[in-house]
Structure 1
Amino acid sequence: MTLTLLFGLAISFLVTLVFAPFFIPLLHRLHFGQYIREEGPKSHQKKNGTPTMGGLIFLVGLLAGILVMGLKYHMTTQDTYMLLFVTFGFGFIGLLDDFIKITMKRNMGLTSKQKMAAQIVIALAFWFIMTRYDYSTYLSFPGTHFMINLQWFYPLLVLFLLIGVPNATNLTDGMDGLLTGLSVIAFGAYAIIAWFSMNLGVAVFATTLLGALLGFLIFNAHPARVFMGDTGSLALGGALAGMAILTNTELLLAVIGGVFAIETLSVIIQVISFKSTGRRIFKMSPIHHHFELSGWSEWKVVTVFWLVGLMLALIGIYLKVGMAS
């Protein structure tokens, strides 16, 4: 089974690697370039016009890998297709957002209300599918055997995760390769967790997406030749939240995706502080911009954040796999 999973990873990696050099020039010809907001770091202005919507690249790689794993090896399950639904559902929301930004030549795509409404629809659809089958409503506490049945409160947790996590990954996507690298780490952790938990459907999806992201990172690492855009960042958040729900690791996600949580908290803290006192805690939020404006190079910020993400992922794997054995 392990070799077959690695084959799925290799397929998605190769498809992404082959597709990207064809798709990136197409984005250039269509003038689908990123609009860099003026209030952002001045060093980022040189990135203005870099092709965006690159999330489509690894989504194509993911889809190709899943089709091979399903049609040839019959290793996909209901969980795999639920994750495919939520990933492409949030990816479509991001695609609309990116398209509006590009065509209108502004940093604002869908309004916050439009985006929230669309996310709620996808989240409710995901929950509706769960209710048709015998999915657990128990909440597990990392590193312990303690569980609590949330019953009718569980749908609220599903909504919270499927709305909160994509927005957290979206906030994290602010530097070359930052979100892609952190996602490689997070989905790698979930591939291991799913494998040890004998959840084949999630393991197939996680390893296949991991391969696609590794291929995309070659083009997205500093200096980025393409940005994933909201198409990619929202899709990755949907996939990550879906995996946490289907593996009953909702609380553990706060550890494995700890950097995403920190990025989101930095924005919340900054907003609350400015509105209540008129003062900013950070030079700029999300927090990766604070370190950049403090004199760190972009590559240093990204590598340090990757290392923090890796350490948190290893802790998460230990809490779920190591302490259970």
Structure 2
Amino acid sequence: MTVVAALLSWFLVGLFIRVSKARGWGQPVRKDGPQTHLIKEGTPTAGGVAFVLALAAVFFPLYVTGHAGGVRELIIMLGALAMGVIGGIDDVLKVRSRMVGGKKELLAREKFPLQIVVALVFAYFAAPLAAHELLPGFGLWGDVALLTFVMVGSVNAFNFADGLDSLLGGIAIIVLLPLFAVSPSAALLTAVLLGFLWFNAHPARVFMGDMGSHAIGAIAAGAYILYADVWLLPIAAIMPVVAVLSVVIQVISFRTRGKRVFKMSPIQHHFEHPDIGWPETHVTMRFWMVTALATAGVWWLLGGRP
């Protein structure tokens, strides 16, 4: 069914591109961002909507017929879809503001409470089913607090790791490879991302948007919690972790000292800055390489299996 998922994603993403172009759903590009990105102005965004739909369309028939795992998989998928809806609201606001004006996106103070609510519900049901012991001696609510933090952190880390052609899709596939054989949701997400990357390869014909990145972060967190070890996730997802930390460091430094640590943030744009000058494709490939090495280390720590 992974082949079906990949082909359905490829079809839906291609259809989404055609509809987006016909309706003018193009991506605005930050004028203070990398100057090489200005040529991307107008590229269809929110392509994650299409591959998340493909993911759900394949998963739920399999789950109902008993071919997509048990309750762990349902918890992961429902958490991912709920997070995806939050990201999707952001995507709709961005497209709508470009077309008719109005609110441009969800503010952090609006987005975080929604993410926390979804993460709390996920954590409550996931904590008793975690593959490894979480916080010995802290009880259920200690574990719930930890998993809530992990889920929200993962969603935002993977979101900040987006922004370059193929970057996040490739990172996510690599991070999920150790769990491909044991988690149907991880396997299906890998498949639909392949269909998406057909169009997202440089130069991208479509961007992912927040719905896709939120769903990816949720599935990565859920799969590592329920099938591997939550403490291994930040190792495999080292580049999303570095991306979100670069934003946090940049904001704190600027607000407290009036100075920036990085040329730009998230860190992938730092390397694109003219003072450093890495081409976009070089940044993507090197981030993939670091992720592959880190994930190989996780595979070794798992003994070659989850």
> TM-score normalised to the size of structure 2?
0.91
Shift of 1:290: 1.1
Q: Aligned to 2:107, which of 100, 104, 111?
A: 111
Of 16-25 and 103-112, more deviation after overlay is shown by 103-112
Shift of 1:150: 3.5
For residues 71-129 of structure 1, give each alpha carbon's deviation from its aligned partner in whole angstroms, at most 9, with x where no partner exists.
Answer: 55634311111111011111100111111111112794011111111111211221343
**For the structure 1 residues 248 and 256, does the alpha-carbon distance in structure 2 shift closer, same or farther, using more than 3 Å as the test?**
same
Match of 1:235 in 2: 215
Match of 2:33 in 1: 40
Match of 1:172 in 2: 161
Unpaired runs of at least 5, structure 1: 1-7, 141-146, 196-202
Match of 1:308 in 2: 290
Once the two structures are superposed, the pairs formed by residues 244-255 of structure 1 within 5 Å of their partners are 244-255=224-235
Match of 1:124 in 2: 120
SS in 1 for 2:78: helix
Shift of 1:248: 5.0
**For the structure 1 residues 316 and 138, does the alpha-carbon distance in structure 2 shift closer, same or farther, using more than 3 Å as the test?**
closer
| Whole-angstrom CA distance in 2 between matches of 1:108 and 1:153 | 36
**For the structure 1 residues 13 and 90, does the alpha-carbon distance in structure 2 shift closer, same or farther, using more than 3 Å as the test?**
same
Once the two structures are superposed, the pairs formed by residues 164-313 of structure 1 within 5 Å of their partners are 164-192=153-181, 195=182, 203-293=183-273, 294-313=276-295
SS in 2 for 1:148: coil
Matched, 1:159 2:128: no
Match of 1:150 in 2: 138
SS in 1 for 2:46: coil
| Whole-angstrom CA distance in 2 between matches of 1:72 and 1:138 | 28
Contact 1:166 1:234 in 2 (8 A): yes
SS in 2 for 1:36: coil
For residues 173-202 of structure 1, give each alpha carbon's deviation from its aligned partner in whole angstroms, at most 9, with x where no partner exists.
Answer: 11111001101111222225xx3xxxxxxx
Shift of 1:278: 2.4
| Whole-angstrom CA distance in 1 between matches of 2:303 and 2:15 | 41
For residues 285-315 of structure 1, give each alpha carbon's deviation from its aligned partner in whole angstroms, at most 9, with x where no partner exists.
Answer: 1111111111111011101101111111111
Contact 1:139 1:150 in 2 (8 A): no
Matched, 1:319 2:290: no
Matched, 1:70 2:63: yes
Among all aligned residue pairs of Structure 1 and Structure 2, give the percentage whose two residues are the same amino acid.
36
Contact 2:5 2:192 in 1 (8 A): yes
Contact 1:138 1:148 in 2 (8 A): no
- Give the residue type in structure 1 aligned to 2:164: M
Unpaired runs of at least 5, structure 2: none
Shift of 1:22: 1.6
Contact 1:139 1:248 in 2 (8 A): no
Shift of 1:322: 3.6
Shift of 1:64: 2.9
- Give the residue type in structure 1 aligned to 2:90: D
Matched, 1:51 2:44: yes
Shift of 1:149: 4.5
| Whole-angstrom CA distance in 1 between matches of 2:88 and 2:75 | 20
RMSD over equivalenced CA pairs, Å: 2.1
Match of 1:22 in 2: 15
Contact 2:51 2:196 in 1 (8 A): yes
- Give the residue type in structure 2 aligned to 1:38: K
For residues 140-192 of structure 1, give each alpha carbon's deviation from its aligned partner in whole angstroms, at most 9, with x where no partner exists.
Answer: 6xxxxxx8343131111111111111111111111111001101111222225
**For the structure 1 residues 319 and 79, does the alpha-carbon distance in structure 2 shift closer, same or farther, using more than 3 Å as the test?**
same
Shift of 1:19: 2.0
Of 98-107 and 113-122, more deviation after overlay is shown by 98-107
| Whole-angstrom CA distance in 2 between matches of 1:164 and 1:73 | 31
| Whole-angstrom CA distance in 2 between matches of 1:101 and 1:181 | 24
Contact 1:94 1:231 in 2 (8 A): yes
Contact 1:16 1:212 in 2 (8 A): yes
Match of 2:73 in 1: 80
